[in-house]
């Protein structure tokens, strides 16, 4: 056997001596050696590569397949590959969590407050707690990630994308920076919502000086669908998963595809957020899973009783505690700006409208993810699970999922729904006893001066203050599970999950049109007597059906009759296919109607029925004059807005909703989840841009996964906005064009599949 000098240099003497050692124990025959192919030799060399070598095989569409023989090597390759496609966005986010926005991007109040927030909360003590937690495996992978990121920067200085090439803020990182970004991602929808109100907190501020509290997450801007089918409903008897997270199309919350292999330890493919260092949604040879944003609250407010005549001290039972003042200096181009952040044993003080700092009370926030150090080990265990039971055990063991449900399927035919995540341990009893009415029913505020009103500590939880997994909703079945951002209640309508704390979500209430659309489409297949296949599951999403139109359009058309001004538009609507594919004509008329028909839900003819929650409410009270006026007015306003924007009433949807990539207009299918689109794309109507543009949010990484007879994953997927956010990248719009046509790509998982799509290969020493 001959190995080239280049290959010898790449694998190093350690691997060659290892090969020699094996040969000495079991010498292969001449016939065996001569029969070996070059590809099999390459596989042997790869498997025996030294721990300090990382192989990255790049396949079509800029997808990296990282293989290493150590956790550190895996982290190294993951960072290198992620930076290859996303370095500018990733580096920009490190600036944010280090508190350097004002330094590099201007001394605005928003930048200074954000910097003060991150510097105060992501302090050295907090970082040391994070770095001390976790397993040796997780720490090694993080260390490798830092080295891989830094080496990428050094290797590519002066050759970065135009948006950050030679930028002064593109700097190396350390392990503390990685801890900062990991905590920062977790608190984005809790503490991260009130950065200004934390950085500008103080006693005695006048009401006019206080900013409105914005603590409610816009469910139209984060979301997801997921369906897991068990063997009782699938043609193959194996599980099928469809994961469809709805996430931003721009910025650090974009997904990036990758495949990680550590032989004997890990083999997982899927996506991470640009800013995270683990595969968060994906599949293995055993399981596939996805996440949807959960209804569970991840924080509570606390009202603290202040000591009379001392606004800097508060009562905790019979004790008195001082409010800690953290002075923060923020570097700006003009010098140093200062802010004061106020901390208590529960968390930072938040001062805003409805929650002022008076002479009697102060309000603080405790965020469950500010104490979440467990996600790295959780995702390792998820990726090593052999079935949905083991996956649920991984969730229960770590409870490291920050704000999401988990929906999964396995090759044995099991399906899982679970919200075993980081949720404060606040029971219905505690709420009844401790909740304080602040005038905002959507924010839970507890009596912080009563120690018994703090989050309860349960020995069954993964961390003090978490709700134990035994009190969190989950379901394993051989039929199906689902979630579309409503609560756990109707994950499977035939097995309703009930009796959980209100902090997780509501029960026995109206579901969203998007939730109902998904359940209706699933039940249609079941009622037909057919079994689910991967293609049928894919069609559930890419039929782009408009469930709101299916429910209401016939009655709207009845109102149209005799309305001369509406005749052309209503004729087009009558011929519309009630979908939002790029070729659908009439979808934009209905969208503009819906957006103008505020209060339409108050005109349903059939109210919500607890015995039929999937199909109710429905119909319109078109015999009611007020309903008729609303319909006519909304149609007229919608038509006028389209005409003023110069958009023909018979334009196909892809001409009205689109992305622009390097000057090219790409039609985008899908639409508003609030209207009942299961295939979600969020874009505000912009007359100046000629329609629904730019795309803000929606379908992102979509995967449908099952397994072949030999157990190999069969994964079809799409990353709607493509792998790279950089206009000068080859992978800026290629997948977006595939998505435009409602097509999928086959994800290569095995070595043979990777070889078929191989574009280039990197062998890195670290």
Residue 226: φ, ψ to 5°: -155, 140
Give the pLDDT mean for 538-542. 98
What is the percent of the chain where pLDDT is above 70?
Answer: 92
- Which pLDDT score is estimated for 221? 61
pLDDT over 70 (residue 429): yes
Q: Which of 84, 224, 277, 491 is catalytic?
A: 224
Whether cis (ω within 30° of 0) applies to the bond prior to 694 is yes
Q: Which fold has domain 545-668?
A: 1.10.1400
The residue count for the chain: 766
pLDDT bin (cut points 50, 70, 90) of residue 39 is very low
- Which pLDDT score is estimated for 556? 98
Q: What is the mean pLDDT of the chain?
A: 92
* CB neighbour list of residue 738: distance below 8 Å, 6 or more residues apart: 718, 744, 745
- Which pLDDT score is estimated for 213? 78
Question: Catalytic: 163?
Answer: no
pLDDT over 50 (residue 6): no
pLDDT over 60 (residue 12): no
pLDDT bin (cut points 50, 70, 90) of residue 220 is low
pLDDT bin (cut points 50, 70, 90) of residue 50 is low
Q: Which two tokens stand for residue 384?
A: 């090593």
- Which pLDDT score is estimated for 47? 45
Q: Of 625, 559, 568, 635, whose CA–CA distance to 596 is shortest?
A: 635
- Which pLDDT score is estimated for 236? 98
Give the pLDDT mean for 501-522. 98
- Which pLDDT score is estimated for 14? 33
pLDDT over 50 (residue 294): yes
Q: Are strands 445-447 and 299-307 parallel, antiparallel or unpaired?
A: parallel
- Which pLDDT score is estimated for 32? 39
pLDDT over 50 (residue 11): no
pLDDT digits (tens, 9 = 90+) for 122-155: 999 999 999 999 999 999 999 999 999 999 999 9
SS3 (DSSP) at 258: strand
pLDDT digits (tens, 9 = 90+) for 160-217: 999 999 999 999 999 999 999 999 999 999 999 999 999 999 998 776 677 777 776 6
Contact yes or no for 87/161 (Cβ under 8 A) = yes
pLDDT over 70 (residue 8): no
- Which pLDDT score is estimated for 388? 98
pLDDT bin (cut points 50, 70, 90) of residue 10 is very low
* Residues of each domain in the chain carrying CATH 1.10.1400.10: 545-668
- Which pLDDT score is estimated for 207? 66
pLDDT digits (tens, 9 = 90+) for 316-356: 999 999 999 999 999 999 999 999 999 999 999 999 988 99
Lowest model confidence (mean pLDDT) among 45-54, 109-118, 506-515: 45-54
Q: Of 332, 338, 335, 336, whose CA–CA distance to 104 is shortest?
A: 332
């Amino acid at each position: 056997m001959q190995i080239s000098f280049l290959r010898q240099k790449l694998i190093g003497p350690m691997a060659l001596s290892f090969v020699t050692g094996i040969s000495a124990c079991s010498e292969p025959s001449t016939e065996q050696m001569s029969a070996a192919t070059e590809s099999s030799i390459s596989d042997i060399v790869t498997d025996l590569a030294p721990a300090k070598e990382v192989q990255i095989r790049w396949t079509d569409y800029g997808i990296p397949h990282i293989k290493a023989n150590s956790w550190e090597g895996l982290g190294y390759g993951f960072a290198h590959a992620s930076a290859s496609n996303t370095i500018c966005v990733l580096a920009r986010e490190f600036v944010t969590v280090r508190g350097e926005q004002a330094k590099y991007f201007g001394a605005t109040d928003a930048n200074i407050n954000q910097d003060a927030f991150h510097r105060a909360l992501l302090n050295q003590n907090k970082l040391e707690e994070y770095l001390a937690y976790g397993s040796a495996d997780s720490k090694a992978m993080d260390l490798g990630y830092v080295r891989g990121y830094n080496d990428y920067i050094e290797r590519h200085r002066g050759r970065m994308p135009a948006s950050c090439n030679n930028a002064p803020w593109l700097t190396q990182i350390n392990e503390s920076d990685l801890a900062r970004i990991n905590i920062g991602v977790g608190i984005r929808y809790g503490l991260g919502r009130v950065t200004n109100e934390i950085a500008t907190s103080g006693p005695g501020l006048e009401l006019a000086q206080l900013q409105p509290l914005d603590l409610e997450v816009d469910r139209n801007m984060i979301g997801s669908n997921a369906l897991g089918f068990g063997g009782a409903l699938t043609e193959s008897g194996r599980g099928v998963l469809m994961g469809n997270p709805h996430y931003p199309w721009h910025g650090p919350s974009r997904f990036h595809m990758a495949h990680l292999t550590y032989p004997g330890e890990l083999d997982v493919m899927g996506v991470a957020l640009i800013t995270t260092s683990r595969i968060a949604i994906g599949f293995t040879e055993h399981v596939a899973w996805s996440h949807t944003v959960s209804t569970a609250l991840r924080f509570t407010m606390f009202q603290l009783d202040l000591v009379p005549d001392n606004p800097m001290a508060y009562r905790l039972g019979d004790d008195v505690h001082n409010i800690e003042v953290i002075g923060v200096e923020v570097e700006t181009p003009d010098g140093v700006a200062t802010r004061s952040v106020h901390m208590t044993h529960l968390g930072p003080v938040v001062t805003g409208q409805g929650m002022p700092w008076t002479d009697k009370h102060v309000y603080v926030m405790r965020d469950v993810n500010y104490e979440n150090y467990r996600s790295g080990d959780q995702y390792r265990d998820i990726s090593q699970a052999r079935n949905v039971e083991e996956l649920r055990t991984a969730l229960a063991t770590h409870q490291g999922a920050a704000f999401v449900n988990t929906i999964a399927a396995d090759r044995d035919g099991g399906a899982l729904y679970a919200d075993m995540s980081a949720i404060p341990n606040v029971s219905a009893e505690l709420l009844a006893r401790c909740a304080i009415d602040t005038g905002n029913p959507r924010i839970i505020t507890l009596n912080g001066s009563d120690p018994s009103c703090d989050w309860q500590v349960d020995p069954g939880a993964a961390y003090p203050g978490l709700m134990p997994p035994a009190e969190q909703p989950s379901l394993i079945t051989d039929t199906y599970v689902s979630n579309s951002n409503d609560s756990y209640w109707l994950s499977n309508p035939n097995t309703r999950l009930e009796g959980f704390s209100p902090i997780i979500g509501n029960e026995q209430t109206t579901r969203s049109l998007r939730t109902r659309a998904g359940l209706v489409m699933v039940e249609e297949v079941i009622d037909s007597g057919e079994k689910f296949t991967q293609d049928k599951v894919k069609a559930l999403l890419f039929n782009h059906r408009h469930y709101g139109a299916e429910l209401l359009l016939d009655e709207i058309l009845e109102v149209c009759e005799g309305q001369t001004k509406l005749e052309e538009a209503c004729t087009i609507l009558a011929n519309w296919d009630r979908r939002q594919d790029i070729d659908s004509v009439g979808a934009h008329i209905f969208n503009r109607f819906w957006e103008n028909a505020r209060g339409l839900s108050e005109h349903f003819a059939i109210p919500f029925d607890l015995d039929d929650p999937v199909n109710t409410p429905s119909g319109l009270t078109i015999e009611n004059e007020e309903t008729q006026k609303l319909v006519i007015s909304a149609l007229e306003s919608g038509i006028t807005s389209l005409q003023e924007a110069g958009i023909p009433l018979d334009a196909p949807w892809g001409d009205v909703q689109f992305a622009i990539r390097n000057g090219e207009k790409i039609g985008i299918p899908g639409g508003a989840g609030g209207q009942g689109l299961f295939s979600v794309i969020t874009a505000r109507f912009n007359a100046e841009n000629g329609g629904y543009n730019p795309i803000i949010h929606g379908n992102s990484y979509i995967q449908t996964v099952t397994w072949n007879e030999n157990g190999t994953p069969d994964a079809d997927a799409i990353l709607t906005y493509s792998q790279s956010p950089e206009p000068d990248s080859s992978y800026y719009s290629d997948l977006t064009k595939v998505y435009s046509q409602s097509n999928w790509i086959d994800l290569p998982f095995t070595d043979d599949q990777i070889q078929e799509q191989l574009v280039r290969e990197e062998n890195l020493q670290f």
